[in-house]
Structure 1
Amino acid sequence: MRIFKILILITVVATLGACTSKFKTYNGPEVTRVLIFKEQRKLYLMNGDNYLRAYDIELGFAPAGHKEFEGDGRTPEGEYTIDRRNPNSAFYLSIGISYPNANDRAAARALGKSPGGDIFIHGGRRPGDPKRPDWTAGCISVSNKQMRDIYAMVNDGTSISIFP
C-alpha cells in the first residue's frame, strides 16, 4: 500500500510539472515600442532604439493598405497604443491595439461605414481558420509560443507603429 501511495504521489508531481502555463514572466528591459512592418511581415519589440526580439507575423486577409472600415480585411497602419489584454482570447492570448482613433472614425464615417474595432496582436489559428497566409480579419497573428513572450513583455500603454 505504501509503494502504491508513493507511485501516485510521483505521478501527480510529474503531471503537474509537465503542465506549462500560458502566462510567462519577463524581467528584461522594458518594451517601449512595438514596430510592425506589414510588407516584411515582421513585428519588432524595442527598448528605445535597441531591438529586443523579432517575430514573423500574419495579417488581415487583404493586407495591402490601411484599414478603412469594418469587414475590409485590412490591418490598420499608423500610430496606436496597446490598450488592453485578453487572457481568455479565442486566439490563445491577445493584446489590443487602440484602433480606431479619431481619424479612423472620421474616414470611415465619410464612407458611410463603421471603422470596426477589436484589432489585436494574438496567437495562432484555431481549428477551422483558413490555412492561407494573411488569414485574420485585420489582426496581427503570431504563434501561440511567441504570443506568450509578447504578452509577458508588452505592457498596456506601449506605443505601436504599424507601417505599410
Structure 2
Amino acid sequence: MSEIAPVPALDAHLGFWLRMVSNAVSQSFARALEGEGVTVAEWVFLRTLYGAEPAPPSRVAETLGMTRGAITKLADRLIDKGLTARRADPEDGRAQLLSLTPRARRLVPRLAALADANDGAFFASLKPSERAQLERLLKRIVASRGITEIPAT
C-alpha cells in the first residue's frame, strides 16, 4: 500500500474563503437582479453604458474584458428587453453604437441600490475601518496581479 502525501485541508487556503464569500455575495445579488428581469452580466453591461456616450461594441468589449461576440449577444438580449438600443454611427455608417434606452436609465439606479443593499447585508459584520481595509487589500492584490477583467458572471 502506498503512502498518501499529506495535503492541507481545503479551508486552509485563503482562496477557499474568498471564493466562499464571493460565491455567496454573487449568488445573492444574482437572485435580486433576477427579480428585476436582469442577469449579472446584463447589469454590468448596463452599468458600463450608464451615463456614458453611445459606444461601439468593440469599446464595450474592451472595457469589460469580453469578446465582441459576447457583447453582441448581451446587446441582443438587452435590445429584446427594451433596455439597449443599437444604431448606426453617424460618423461611420458601417459602425454601430450601443446606448441605454430611457427605461434602462431609470432601471440602473434601482439595480445599483440592490447592489448596495447586497453589499451592506454581506459586509455588515465588519466595522467601517475593517471594510475599508479589506477593500484596500483586495485592490492591492488586483493591482499586483494585473487583474483588469471586470467580473461579469
TM-score w.r.t. the length of structure 2 is: 0.29
Q: Write 1 or 2 for the structure with the bigger share of strand.
A: 1
* Bigger relative contact order, structure 1 or 2 (CA pairs below 8 A, ≥6 apart): 1
TM-score by length of 1: 0.28
Which structure has more helix as a fraction of its residues?
2
